[in-house]
Amino acid sequence: MRAGVGLRILAGAVVGIVAGAAATLAVQPGAARLGSKPAGRPPARASDPILSSARPTTFLAWTHGGLPDGFGDRAGRLDGVKRTVVVANDNTWLTGSLSAQGQVVDDPPRPYAIPLDVSAAQPEDLAPFLPPADRGLVVDLEAGEGVLGASSARLRGLGPGAVLFFGPRAVEIAAVLPDELVGAAELLVSRETGRRIGVVRERYALIETRKPMTSPRLEDSLAPALPDDVPARVRAPGETPYLRHGDAVLPPVLIKLLFGEFAARPMPGRPGFLELDPSWVRTHIATRRLPLLGTVTCNRALIAQIREAMLQLQELGLGSTVRSFSGCYSARFVNRIPTATLSHHSWGIAFDINVPQNPFGGTPHQDPGLVDVLEEWGFIWGGDFLVPDGMHFEYHRPPPTE
């Protein structure tokens, strides 16, 4: 490690202020419902303690860009599969919210709205994947109510009895569940409610097997349920903290807690891009000159961490491995596809290096030393993604402190 400990500590201080939040927000195995609103009792607060409970063994399966049509039905008929639930997930636009006491909490400035990561599942299919104590929520979901994830509740300061507005549609909150039970989504609703607020794309499936199985074995078993040209990623219990698509990267709610939440809208005349609230951009995005990269526009909380990584590359004689830099902050959807989820470039926490040699979907050609240094400094590499994105690096954890 390099001798510039002072700057490293600075990087740790900038991001480390929120690192403790990331640790406390990490998925807690065996945690049950945070709060609900039974009759005759006041609604629970988002800060109420999480109680302990059990959760059945569950595998995760997902494909890039969404599951093929009919995947859930085909997978459910395979030998060795006991049950499945397919989960839809999309970015939706929160136009306002009220607390359980009727106070305005979210009121984004017009014409902007708050992008919200929302999942939707058939309640009766989801029930077996919840701890027994939480299966009563099926009735609430079927009635059109929603469930907040614990991190989402903390971010918004909302709990049971709150109401979220998506244009003319309103969703009342029935309960708050630990992130692990909602796939780290900000809001979980039924498929019917999801369709009403724009959640339609089937992104991943939870699968329970009839007997113990490894993830490679289940992946092989699922091959008949997938087209030949569609790669899938399967995670066994305990292999990933986030039972959701793109499980290797931070889900949006944790990014918001670490780097800020913005209001935005799809950019008029530029499909696939976003127009962010200028006040958020002013306070969270900054432009600096950094070693090896030149002029960089990123989330200001991350700039010191990137700088230290570049300085270490120089000191190790690896500066030449950075041939070109193609940007960091870019407010848009993934791959500029309007129906995709939000790109992490929108928060200014991802950057692209050596694009010509590492096109999206192609075989990565990054120098292993470059990858090792950036991973050591807390950046995950897109070359390991299900569909390789060898140019891409993004924030995953705080920098080292020693």
Q: What is the pLDDT of residues 193-218, one digit of tens each?
A: 999 999 999 999 999 999 889 999 99
Backbone angles phi, psi at 63, to 5 degrees: -130, 155
- We find that the CATH architecture of domain 5-25+256-395 is 2-Layer Sandwich (3.30)
Ranges in the chain, pLDDT < 50: 1-55
Q: What is the pLDDT of residues 254-300, one digit of tens each?
A: 999 999 999 999 999 999 999 999 999 999 999 999 999 999 999 99
Dist CA 401 CA 14 (whole Å)? 12
Instruction: Pull the structure tokens for residue 288.
Output: 């600096």
Q: Is 198 helix (H, G, I), strand (E, B) or coil?
A: coil
pTM here is: 0.87
What are the domain boundaries of the chain? 5-25+256-395, 35-240
DSSP assignment of 51-107, as one string?
A: PB------EEEEETTSPPTTHHHHHHTSTTEEEEEEEEEEEEEE-EEE-TTS-EEE-
pLDDT at site 27: 31
Dist CA 235 CA 386 (whole Å)? 12
